[in-house]
Amino acid sequence: MTTKPTAVVTGGAGFIGSHMVDVLLERGYAVRVIDDFSGGHERNLAHLAGNPDLAVEHADIRGLAPGSALFEGARFVFHFAGIGDIVPSIEKPIDYMDINVQGTVKILECARAAGVQKLVYAASSSCYGLADVPTREDHPIDPKYPYALSKYQGEQAALHWHKVYGLPVNSVRIFNAYGTRVRTTGAYGAVFGVFFKQKLAGKPFTVVGDGTQGRDFLYVTDVARAFLAAAETKHTGEIYNLGAGNPQTVNRLVELLGGDVVYIPKRPGEPDCTWADIGKITSKLGWAPVVSFEEGVGRMTAEIENWRDAPLWDPDSIEQATKTWFRYMAPTGEA
């Protein structure tokens, strides 16, 4: 009798993490999910109920210690657990540094003690700040807000553990992931959640600036496949940019969804375009995106009812929610 290889997915009840679980189970792995459910949801794993190859542990990553049974015998660790969003990170920087940096160190130590074959860290393209495009992995680092800084420092810790302790690590800098199960509640942020609720309510889409800004949207199943490739490769100690390499404008999203538009002020510190140079990940790992933007938006629209209980944003509520953003992100003298 052969035993299935085991993978640990931190944040496995979250948006990307739950899709990672799906891919791993499909590829014949047994999966252990670690999630405190502060951002993830049980419904993201509900379709897997009763699967004998899935175990879910309700735990805060900061409470884990080397020798944890959750990592025993694991081949791979995929580290997605953490907290996101720009404005909350500006308001509560200690929380972000604690969870995204110190929490990552706890995972690194657990993985090191367990002797895992590879840890793949979910990094963020926000580390580049207002970057030249298309953006390569060797672009200068310039995080603009605490979330970006915390994710970059978590990545640096992972690479340091590789350098000092020999822990096999790869880091994947995600650009703009989207897809089914993306967060529907919480802080003002992700454009899809905002727009889908507005469409359901028959309200105009709140488009920042003139809508010509581009985002390198990559469908979440393509993200998960890339992470598995980063785990299974012989390469280690590497950083890979991950996007579709084909930016889409917010206006194009509005066109696909269909509806009226109201324009709100452009926000300081936001790039006009995010665009991953994916030459390295495609050549080194043999990965390529397969889900087109139109197909991805169609998949999400088919499940639009999932956003029925999401918060409804309008220009006034967005202005209130982003006051901190404008206060701290505006260039000196413009706040």
In terms of DSSP H, where are the helices of the chain? 15-26, 86-91, 93-96, 103-114, 146-165, 191-200, 220-232, 250-257, 279-285, 293-301, 315-321, 323-329
Polymer length in residues for the chain:
335
188 is catalytic: no
Out of 29, 96, 145, 147, pick the active-site residue: 147
HSE-up (13 A, CA, CB side) for residue 265: 12
70-to-57, 67, 111, 265 alpha-carbon distances in Å? 8, 8, 10, 47
Cα 144 to the center of its chain, rounded Å: 17
Which token pair is 280? 């390295």
Cα 241 to the center of its chain, rounded Å: 13
Give residues with Cβ within 8 angstroms of 255, minimum separation 6: none
Smallest Cα–Cα separation from 226: which of 245, 250, 211, 210?
Answer: 245
139-to-112, 128, 311 alpha-carbon distances in Å? 29, 7, 36
What DSSP letter does each residue of 232-258 carry, written as one string?
HSS--SEEEEES-SS-EEHHHHHHHH-
Q: Is 316 exposed, middle or buried (0-12, 13-18, 19+ CB in 10 A)?
A: exposed
The residues assigned a catalytic role are 147
